[in-house]
Amino acid sequence: MPRAIRKFQPAFKLQIVREVETGDRPISQICREHSLSDSIVRRWLQQYQEKGPAAFHKGDPKTEELEAAHKRIAQLEAALGRSTMEVDFLRRCVKRANVPLAESARW
């Protein structure tokens, strides 16, 4: 008879990962206590290390919205950095060229 596929709640996964991270007991002991395979716990640990607690909340609209906001913030920060570099470059160019600027065009 095939094994039933078990689904674990995000809170349970987070609890297991935190037990592993404390280092009080080996992973094998934690797996035995909770009837889990070693590979699934290691996978959860890797996901947690890569994405933090949000790794276990797939499909949660708030988590997806937060992730999208973080991506947008990173894009905006990159654009701001490029714009700042362009302004600095243009300021140096104008200064080197000794081009007189109108009073309204000064920085």
Q: 31 is written with which tokens?
A: 């797996």
pLDDT of residue 38: 92
31-72 confidence digits (pLDDT tens) = 999 999 999 999 999 999 988 877 777 666 776 788 789 999
Q: Cα–Cα distance between 70 and 14 in angstroms, integer? A: 22
For residue 41, the model assigns a pLDDT of: 93
Going by pLDDT thresholds of 50, 70 and 90, the confidence category of residue 5 is: confident
Biggest distance spanned by C-alpha atoms of the chain: 86
* Rg, C-alpha atoms of the chain: 26
Please state the domain extents for the chain: 8-58, 59-101
**What pLDDT does 15 receive?**
92
62 neighbors 72 (Cβ within 8 angstroms): no
